[in-house]
Amino acid sequence: MILTYQKWLIASVVAIFSLTILQVNAVLGNEQESLIYEDLNVQVMPEYALPDGWDEERPNMLIGHHAILTNEGDSEFQEELSIHAPVDNPDFFPAFVGEYDDEDQLAAVEFTIDEKNEEIVWTPEQTIHPGETYQYVIEYYYYPFEIEDQTSYSFTFETNYPTKEATVAIYTPYGAENVEINHESDEQSEMMMVPVDGYRFSDLPVGEHEYFEVSYEKEDPITTIDALAKYEAPDDDMHAMFQNDLDNDTELGPTATMISTENSILISVSFVVAGSLFYLGMRQKYRAPQQSNHTNAKTKKGRIKEVDQEGEKQKLKQQFLDGEIDEETYRKKRSALS
C-alpha cells in the first residue's frame, strides 16, 4: 500500500512538472511569435575584407545581417534572439553583434554560439515593448568556396521570423568577371565601384528559404576594401563618410580615398548606408500596388491615424530617395512613426 502511494506521488510530481514546462514553453513561444521582421537586409560579400588572422591567400565570405524587428504582440519581449549562421563551418568567425539604442547609436552586445541549432544568440539590452521596434546588425565571416577554373559558392537566405520586407544583396568581388547567379535579380546597380545584384522578398513566413548559387572568375587576390582604399572618392555627400579622416568637421577633399582600411570594421554597415537609395528605390519600383482598406477611416479616429502614418512613411521614403533628408534623419523619423 505504501509502495503504491509512493508511485502515485512520484507520478503526480512528474505530471505537474511536465505541465509547468509546457506552460513556460507556450509563453516563450507566444513571445517569439509576436516578433516580425519589419525590414530585413542581408548582404552577401565575397572577398571583401580580411579579418585579423585570416590567410591573405585564402578568400572569405562576409555576411552582413541588418534587421528591424517589431513587437506586434500584447506583452513585453525580454527573451533571447537568434539567427541561423554557418557556425559548423571550420572557418566561421563572428565579427560583430550590435544593436541601435534610443539615440540611434550602434553598440556591441554580448552573444553566444549555439552549435547544436547552428545559431548566433543574444539578448537585447532593452525590453522590446508592444508596438516598439528593435534594430540590430550582425557580421560574420566564413569559407564557403569551391575553387577550380572558377570560384563558386552557395548561400541560403532564411527567415527566423515572419518577414514583411526583405532584400538580399549579392556583391561582386573587385576584379571579378563572368559572374553567374542562378536567379535573375530584381535590380542591378553599382555601389562603391562594384556591381550589386538585388533580390526583393515580401510577406515571408518563418523558415522560408531561398538558395543562391554564384560563380565568377577572379585572378587578383586583392580584397574589395583594399582596392577601394587606393581609389579617390568622388567629391559628393554619398561618399563623404568613406574618407580616411572620419572627423565630422573635415570636409571631403579631392585626394580622399574611397574607404579607409583602418576604419572598415563594420564593412556591411558602411555599404548599407551608401546603398540606402538603391535598397529603397528597388523596393519602391517592385512593390505591387496595394488596394486601399481605409474606406471607413473618416469614421474611426484610430484608423485615420494609421492611414496618416502610412502616408507619412511613404513621404519619408520619397524624401530620402530625392535626397531631401539624410539616412540618419530618415531612420529617426521612421522609428518615431512605428
How far from 300 is each of 163, 293, 337, CA to CA, in Å? 28, 13, 19
Tell me the average pLDDT across 134-163.
Answer: 95
CATH fold for the domain made of 34-223 = Immunoglobulin-like (2.60.40)
Residue 105: band (very low, low, confident or very high) from pLDDT cuts 50, 70, 90: confident
Residue 331 has a CB neighbour count (10 Å cut-off) of 18
pLDDT above 60 (res 334): yes
Report the distance separating Cα 44 and Cα 169, nearest Å.
6
Residue 71 has a CB neighbour count (10 Å cut-off) of 20
pLDDT tens track for 320-332: 555 567 666 766 7
Q: Across the chain, what does the average pLDDT equal? A: 74
How far from 130 is each of 127, 309, 327, CA to CA, in Å? 10, 17, 25
Lowest mean pLDDT among 77-81, 146-150, 174-178, 295-299: 295-299
Report the distance separating Cα 237 and Cα 35, nearest Å.
35
Residue 230 grid coordinates: 587606393
The answer to whether the CB of 47 falls within 8 A of the CB of 59 is yes
pLDDT tens track for 294-326: 333 333 333 334 445 666 766 765 565 555 676
Lowest mean pLDDT among 12-16, 62-66, 161-165: 12-16
3-class DSSP state of 151: strand
pLDDT tens track for 208-232: 999 999 999 998 888 888 887 776 5
Task: Cite the beta strand spans of 53-150 per DSSP E.
Answer: 61-71, 81-84, 93-100, 106-108, 111-114, 119-122, 133-142, 146-147
How many Å separate Cα 236 from the centre of its chain? Answer: 26
Residue 198: band (very low, low, confident or very high) from pLDDT cuts 50, 70, 90: very high
pLDDT tens track for 240-291: 444 443 344 333 333 333 333 333 446 555 555 444 444 444 444 443 333 3
Tell me the average pLDDT across 86-107.
Answer: 91
